[in-house]
Amino acid sequence: MDRSLTPSEERGTVTRFKQTERVAMSLDTCIGAWLHAKHGRSESQKTATAYKDTLADFRHLLQDAGHDLGDDPAIVAPLAQGWAATSKQAERVTPNTYNQRLAILSRFYKYAIKHEVLVANPIERVERRVVRKEHAAHALAPAAVSRGLKAIDRTTPEGKRDHALLQVALATGRRVGELAAMRYGHLTWAGTTVIVRWPRCKGNKTMTDTLPAKTTAALSEYLHAIYGQDLVGLPGSAPIWISFSDRNQGKAVSARTLERICEKYFHTSKFHVTRHTWAVTMHTSGAKLADIGRGLGHSNLKTTSDYLEEQLSHENPYAQTIEETLGFEE
């Protein structure tokens, strides 16, 4: 004899039916949704582009080999390991770059698993590389900074740009991406100084720096050389650091251009040395840990303390005393 289903049984039946009929989004849709979510969280076009390009590059490698992102993890994992270790120029990459590439891929897989598009994260099988202190960028010595700045030919517009750029970097400790994104609308002139508002720092923070007088003068000299004496009508979207190459004449420079400028005058393409130099110089000048942390944009002093420890751990303040006590000779 048939009987009617109870309300709770009916609800259960409907629920089971929906679970059976539900269809997950496609892999391409998942990629688009992931990129949209990441861009919405960071609000950084640079980050969004890095995520998009990294995933696309790895997927192309898989597809060229007849595979795709959702294939057997035992196949995808070793391909990811080899891909992350080599640049497009077939050169070996640093441990930091290697780990960062794998981290981006892993974030996508975690998103896809969460939304039930994929079932496994092959990147979990790939071991990360140890980032040793010799791989890290270290603060520049004051003499090296002085030599580099004096080597710049400031009689040319390009030289004026390089001089002002490096001084702003050393005076603020800002990251390479933040400097490359500088626009005229971020500047507020206040007598012999300029206040710079950085709208998108790491962690989606907005920060502000007041440039000292000499740095302001160098920046002003460069801007007048590029845009003329009257800057009042300059649109806020005008880039601060412009390219002088034939291909991108007058356009905003890329972070890679800033790295080349750093390499030209400071003999290292690790632009982060300017940030380290700012922090160490603040420390040796007697600045409080809280002031250094605030300038770096750190959320807690432990991060700042660890940051300085990493930069200063190679120094021995008693080295000269040892030489004198033990009677070392040249």
Query: So where are the chain's domains?
Result: 23-134, 142-312
Can you tell me the mean pLDDT for 52-57? 94
What is the rounded distance in angstroms from the CA atom of residue 153 to the CA atom of residue 261? 13
- Judged by DSSP in three states, 239 sits in strand
How buried is 68 (Cβ within 10 angstroms: 0-12 exposed, 13-18 middle, 19+ buried)?
Answer: exposed
pLDDT at residue 309 in the model: 76
User: Residue 287 contacts by C-beta under 8 Å, 6 or more apart in sequence?
Assistant: none
As a whole number, mean pLDDT of residues 293-307 equals: 83
Q: Which residue has the higher pLDDT, 61 or 321?
A: 61
Task: Encode pLDDT of 2-16 as tens digits.
Answer: 455 454 444 444 433
Specify the pTM: 0.64
And the tokens for 306?
């660890």
Q: Is the pLDDT of residue 252 over 90?
A: yes
Residue 162 scores a pLDDT above 50: yes
The domain 23-134: what is its CATH number?
1.10.150
Residue 325: CB atoms within 10 Å: 9
Q: What is the pLDDT of residue 18?
A: 43
Instruction: Give the pLDDT band (50/70/90) at residue 139.
Output: confident
Which DSSP string corresponds to 215-235?
HHHHHHHHHHHHH-S--TT--
Instruction: Quote the DSSP letter at residue 184.
Output: G
142-312 CATH fold: hpI Integrase; Chain A (1.10.443)
Residue 72 has pLDDT above 70, yes or no: yes
